[in-house]
Amino acid sequence: MMSIMRTTKPNARTAAKEASHERIVSAAARAIRRSGYDGTGVADIMKEAGLTHGGFYAHFPSREAMLAEAASRACAESASLAAQVAASMPPRQALDSMLQAYLSPEHVAQIERGCPLAALGSETARQVPEVRSVTTRHVKEMVDLIARQSPDWGKPAAHDRALVTIATMVGTLVLARAVDDPALSSRLCEAALKSLTPT
């Protein structure tokens, strides 16, 4: 009896579906930060991804599933950037560099590619459990990353300082983006930096 061996390489159709899925998630990760969860519609995401609205359900069982994956992508991108900044500096300078990058004018302006906590924090409490779970994991990951920059990492004080630091960072970014006075926006960031990096 002849057996047919299955190939382990994905065929062209599978590869095309994966590429389409990637475009949808990427577009949605930008859109939720730009327009919020409630302002992100399936039709707009599919159009931005260059796909038809009808193809959405071949990729996701629901809009909420797409939002959860988009939130996960946005959080992963943010965490990766923060980790890269930390890794690029000597240990004693890593936290200062992370804070400078996070509270920079460039990050204030980059809503759709910036921190999802600042862009979506006030909406997240009203989202499905999957979205809230993604956010919770990201907050814990960021707190841990910040705590690891402390000389007393592993002790409760380092963790507590990291909690205050992340809360200050996110709150400052929210306010710096909310105001329509560029000077006030800059002062908010400068004051937070001074508070978080005392000399």
Q: Using one digit for the tens of pLDDT, what is the confidence trace for 154-197?
A: 899 999 999 999 999 999 999 999 999 999 999 999 999 999 98
Find, among 114, 144, 120, 142, the residue nearest to 132 by Cα. 120
Could you read off the pLDDT of 51-105 as tens digits, one per residue? 888 888 889 999 999 999 999 999 999 999 999 999 999 888 999 999 999 999 9
Q: Give me the numbers of helices (H) and strands (E) for the chain, helices first please.
A: 9, 0
Q: Which option is the CATH number for 12-196: 3.40.50.720, 3.30.365.10, 1.10.10.10, 1.10.357.10?
A: 1.10.357.10
Domain ranges of the chain: 12-196
List, as own/partner pairs, every contact residues 98-102 make where C-beta atoms lie below 8 angstroms and the sequence separation is at least 24, other chains included. 98/145, 98/146, 98/149, 99/165, 99/169, 99/193, 99/196, 99/197, 100/193, 102/169, 102/173
Q: Taking residues 20-33, report their average pLDDT.
A: 94
pTM of this structure:
0.85
- What is the rounded average pLDDT for all residues in the chain? 91
